[in-house]
Amino acid sequence: MANNAFERALARLDKAAERVDIPPETLKRLHFPKAVLSVSIPVRRDDGSLEIFEGYRVHHSDLLGPGKGGLRYHPEVDLDEVKALAFWMTCKGAIMDLPYGGAKGGVAVDPKQLSMLELERLSRGFIRRIADFIGPEVDIPAPDVYTNERIMGWMMDEYSDVVRRRSPDVITGKPLALGGSLGRSGATGRGGYFCLQELAQEFDWDPEQTTIAIHGFGNAGQSIAHLLHEDGFKVVAVSDSGGGIYNDSGLDIPEVIKGKRAGNSVEQVYCKDSVCDLEDVEVISNDELLTLDVDVLIPAALDDVITEDNAEDIRARVILELANGPTTLEADKLLEEREVTVIPDILANAGGVTVSYYEWVQNRSGDYWTEDEVDQRLEKRMRKQFAAVMDLAKELDVSFREAAYCLALKRLGAAAEALGTQALFNGKD
């Protein structure tokens, strides 16, 4: 059994490779990240002490274009995790038919323990360390877990100082005033919402009779909850790091979001209030939310929350993975045996990278679009690629996850073949 995150991620790829006709060299390329950078970032704390933080950036593949992927701040960030995340970004770019390869980065830090000034010093220091490793035509970072548009703005500004030219196209997910795109902040949740709409049409669901639980109520979780609530779906439970809330009649999502955002720490960068502080709801644990009897479960927080230990207790008929890697390989097998439909992360949460691409295009052209234009472009692309995955799943008689990896492999394999494979160089092509 694969014993680390990157190897486990590759195991799913290898399984899909048995279903598609691609040059064997494609798998060889994808099994090894193109480049890995590890850095140390010295930060002067407000009390005058010096602390060193470890940071990483990984370029997994540039078969389809420059690297693209988020930067996360989390105490458990390590190189193995970042390699796996970069690999998933390669797959997302391929599935969404974007001219992007895969990259990812992060810093091992609990950002909630930093002051605003310390957070800025860390962010600018990290970019100084990796400035030679990124660039508008090389690798374009974006926000991820515990990073946001303000932090992206600091990073873009610092990179611009390093290279001595204004470079809004080096970072996506920025504030609008610094070249960000309308529609970017809620893009991950909106992309997942379009996937769920397509599935609802396929299964002929009545939204008012369809119950949904959302595990993780950050930006993506709030975005999809708001859209589903507006569409008439019954969101009965949500949770964050402080716990969860449940109401079998459905939650008033606008009020829940308002309550969640009511208080902040680190000078309005990170929310401190929990959904558990709201009244007139039943307080439940995060573990309890995962096993609620609902139609749809949306894991929207961190990885590895659905495991072989709790997969048998999952009662949802559909799982929409808005987080990266929320389901372990072992849990996946158990869910597939029970015929639970899983819309995989590399499809379900690809709305974020798609609108990041749109932001990059706007930065490079200087022509900025309206929010409606961005949303329409996202909707068209998400629905088209969802249909491509669903059609392939039916054609091959495989799960959505396996079909998604098969589609990614087909597109990556075409790029590898265009560069030349053994068949070309031994004269048999």
Task: Give the catalytic positions in this structure.
Answer: 104
CA distance 107 to 82: 10
Q: 405: which DSSP letter?
A: H
Q: Would you call 11 helix, strand, or coil by DSSP? A: helix
Distance of CA 255 to the CA centre of its chain: 26
Q: Name the helix (H) or strand (E) containing 108.
A: strand 102-108
CA distance 300 to 288: 15
CA distance 250 to 297: 14
Residue in 175, 100, 68, 96 with CA at minimum distance from that of residue 408: 96
Q: For strand 234-240 and strand 243-246, is the pairing parallel, antiparallel, or unpaired?
A: antiparallel
Let me know: does 223 contact 190? Beta carbons within 8 Å.
Answer: yes
Residue in 269, 196, 184 with CA at minimum distance from that of residue 228: 196
Strand partners of residue 327: 306
CA distance 302 to 322: 9
